[in-house]
Amino acid sequence: MTASVESLPLHFPVFPLAGALLLPGGNLPLNIFEPRYLAMVRDAMQTHKIIGMVQPRPDQERERKPKFYDVGCAGRITHFEENDDGRFLIALTGVCRFDVAEELDCGTLYRQVRADFSRWLGDLEPSEPSTELRDELLEALRQFLDAHELAAEWSGIEQAPMSGLVTSLAMICPFEPSEKQALLEAADLNRQTEILTALMQMDALTSPGGTPTQMH
């Protein structure tokens, strides 16, 4: 069932993690072991099960309290498992992107924000990117995989819905954090597809195994 904005809390914890991209409809597995984030997950499980994924700004990754980007994605805990060593293995399913309206001054070990979803309500109404972008995306993916000497099941890829394919590729491809943020902040799936295609093309061009002559 599609979420509604009314079902989303106005404030919730955030998990600043460089290079970890969560998009609406995507699934992000996380291995939780730090005490502050164990507390965050426990509290979320007892309330609305929402955690916001945000990325630290450049040069902030090693800071104890890094400044983070103003746009993140709210995810709902859809899998929870506690290991014998006390770690939590969870999965977040992306619901809706948000703007950070303010960071809350609270007494928890983890950080919390007040979120503004108004700019991203289109995330709650799933849509497909333009089919005109599909051929270029698939060609860029071929180049990307060739450059990294990776194999893929093309029959499944070619039959996959565009929205799911774009979301999955954007989340799993090893792009730089700033590039991941650009994908997150794309206005819609069409723009996200265009950015993803360009990033894979550039990666294939600059990778040791790339074949620049195939670019067009």
For residue 3, is it within any domain? Answer: no
Shared domain for 113 and 189, answered yes or no, is no
Q: Which residue has the tokens 């929870």?
A: 80
With residue 31 as reference, give the H or E element that holds it.
strand 27-32
Shared domain for 111 and 164, answered yes or no, is no
Shared domain for 165 and 119, answered yes or no, is no
Shared domain for 113 and 136, answered yes or no, is no
- What residue numbers bound the domain in which 199 lies? 131-210
For residue 50, is it within any domain? Answer: yes
Shared domain for 96 and 167, answered yes or no, is no
Q: In the prediction, which pLDDT does 177 show?
A: 95
Shared domain for 109 and 12, answered yes or no, is yes
For residue 56, is it within any domain? Answer: yes
**47 or 60, which is more confident:** 47
Beta strands 111-116 and 88-103, pairing class: antiparallel
Shared domain for 115 and 143, answered yes or no, is no
Q: Which of 101, 124, 147 is the last residue of a domain?
A: 124
Averaged pLDDT, 93-113: 96
Report the chain's mean pLDDT, rounded to a whole number: 92
Q: Closest by alpha carbon to 28, among 184, 159, 140, 144?
A: 184
Q: In the prediction, which pLDDT does 186 show?
A: 97
Would you say residue 213 has pLDDT above 70? Answer: no
pLDDT per position as a tens digit, 15-40: 999 999 999 999 999 999 999 999 99
- Per-residue confidence at 114, pLDDT binned at 50, 70, 90? very high
Q: In the prediction, which pLDDT does 209 show?
A: 56
Q: In the prediction, which pLDDT does 131 show?
A: 87
Q: How far apart are CA 49 and CA 77, in angstroms?
A: 5
Shared domain for 107 and 202, answered yes or no, is no
CATH number at residue 39: 2.30.130.40
Q: Which of 75, 90, 124 is the last residue of a domain?
A: 124
pLDDT per position as a tens digit, 140-176: 999 999 999 988 899 899 999 999 999 999 999 999 9
Beta strands 11-16 and 88-103, pairing class: unpaired
Q: In the prediction, which pLDDT does 71 show?
A: 98
Shared domain for 31 and 94, answered yes or no, is yes
Asked if residue 190 lies in contact with residue 132, where contact means CB atoms within 8 angstroms, the answer is no
Shared domain for 25 and 105, answered yes or no, is yes
- Per-residue confidence at 62, pLDDT binned at 50, 70, 90? confident
Number of domains the chain contains: 2
